[in-house]
Amino acid sequence: HISKRDKYEEIFNALSFCVKEFFDVCSLKKAMVYLSGGIDSSVVAGIVANAFKNEDIIFVSSPTEDNGEITKSNAQQTADALNIKLHWVSMQQAYNGFINDYKDSFDENPSPVSKAAYQAVGRTAQSIGISHKYGGVGNIGCSNQTENILGFSTFHDVANSSAIGLVNDLTKLELYEMAEYI
């Protein structure tokens, strides 16, 4: 019987090794993680910080008016705890453009699901631009198995338009247990 601590230590070490090996094989020089302030991106950030040198990690957060102060604060606290700069890249203007164009076309506000999709598409575009800025950047996805199965993640979520989905096989509960281990 393996203890919970041993289980998560083994998973943590395996994922750290896996992401580093993947980047080496693909000749990717820097790892990018979008920090939302949630548990998923925080766990991924911890694994990435274990696998790479700090100067080879790019943390980004792209809030809109729909993101609360608590999640923004959590994202900053994660970056600070790992001693890695968090780049705040607002997408409010682009988001407003999507919302206003929708309203102009359909005479109503977009649904919350549509708003989430607009944010996801905006972050995908941002991640592509950021990867070109630094060159040789691999975006690391933060979507978990539970979100994927329930359909909470879309193609354009940064979590899915990434070089590797690091925690795609972990359930939400396992992510909380991994966070406790880290």
Residue 159 has what pLDDT? 47
Residue 76 has what pLDDT? 97
Residue 149 has what pLDDT? 61
Q: What is the pLDDT along the chain (182 residues), one digit of tens a residue?
A: 889 999 999 999 999 999 999 999 999 999 999 998 989 999 999 999 999 999 999 999 998 888 889 989 999 999 999 999 999 998 899 999 999 999 999 999 999 888 888 888 888 888 888 888 888 898 888 877 766 665 666 555 554 557 788 888 899 999 999 999 99
Mapping DSSP onto H, E and C, the string for the chain reads CCCHHHHHHHHHHHHHHHHHHHHHHCCCCEEEEECCCCHHHHHHHHHHHHHCCHHHEEEEECCCCCCCHHHHHHHHHHHHHHCCCEEECCCHHHHHHHHHHHHHHHCCCCCHHHHHHHHHHHHHHHHHHHHHHHCCEEEEECCCHHHHHHCCCCCCCCCCCCCEECCCCCCHHHHHHHHHHC
